[in-house]
Structure 1
């Protein structure tokens, strides 16, 4: 008997299986039939969700970026502390990615610098609205008065981190500390 799954559940299952196979065999050596075999489904099912292996990989990148941005957004939306306190005490962009998933291993491996940068840009894109909302809330509460344009400040704070994050000549801890000090200095 054939088992039908909800569309979003099936899509996620395909993405997760693809990432396992990409990790095990490498992106170049992986085919849609390898992914279908891993899932125990027909190739046509995968093509129903993704038109190509490239589209599948891009879907996985989008998915992972969304998960990372949501994790960071949760910390930003926590209303128990001020935005400045959150910046000073919250793990940085670097640390939130510190997991052991296939997604992390593929998107953050040393030979995937371009993929890591693309992932970082997608996370930043999704994170800006969360930071904009947090700045706006701080303004409403009277805790942040020197900001005229919350979206521009949020974009600068989020995208501005990438220049430091992409540097290879300083450690992750140094990157996190530099970012934290700078952003906290801007949010007064």
Structure 2
């Protein structure tokens, strides 16, 4: 008697094979036939789980977002650090994850949409929601009058900087600390021939 695989297992197998082929050969150069041939299954099985090739790419992107979001949430709930240290650690995790998955994020769907655009929006929404909730539950961490708006501006702004090539952890962390008032800029040391006026 033939024993069928668990649908979740089979679906994941198809996704893993597709992801491997997309990364190796490119999205446009990978056909549904290539995917089912890799798994030695009937073409109809692919369409049972995914109505078209774009659908499996969306599922792969969803899976990536869910994994990153889950790790983000877990790390954010670590209350053993001050907020500044916590944000630096989470930002480091995020930057490392994006770097390690550049090939995936640069895949283009047939409609021209780059995976990174879809992923970016989802991750930003999740980060804004999670950080805002944390600050509302723990107002002593960071007293903000409008936490959701502040975090919204911060997350979207950092994302724009990242896409424009600003990916240095120290730079991004410093920006967060200065914008949120988590650190104070050290004044430049005065010199004997300094003629700058001193505040009274």
Shorter-chain TM-score: what band?
0.7 to 0.9
Distance 1:89 1:65, change over 3 A: closer
Distance 1:3 1:40, change over 3 A: farther
Listed as ranges, the gaps of 5+ residues in structure 2 are: 183-200
For 2:17, the equivalent position in structure 1 comes to 17
For 1:143, the equivalent position in structure 2 comes to 141
Q: CA deviation at 1:104?
A: 4.6
Native 8 Å contact 1:135 1:150 kept in 2: yes
Distance 1:32 1:131, change over 3 A: same
- How many residues are aligned here? 176
CA deviation map 1:11-38 (0-9, x unaligned): 2222111011112222112111211111
Distance 1:160 1:41, change over 3 A: same
For 2:171, the equivalent position in structure 1 comes to 178
1:1-188 equivalent positions in 2, closer than 5 A: 2-90=2-90, 91=92, 93-99=94-100, 104-108=102-106, 114-139=114-139, 142-145=140-143, 147-168=144-165, 170=166, 172-173=167-168, 176-185=169-178, 186=180, 188=182
Distance 1:66 1:80, change over 3 A: same
- TM-score if structure 2 supplies the norm length? 0.75
Give, in whole Å, the separation in 1 of the partners of 2:8 and 2:157.
33
CA RMSD of aligned residues (A): 2.5
Native 8 Å contact 2:135 2:141 kept in 1: no
- TM-score if structure 1 supplies the norm length? 0.79
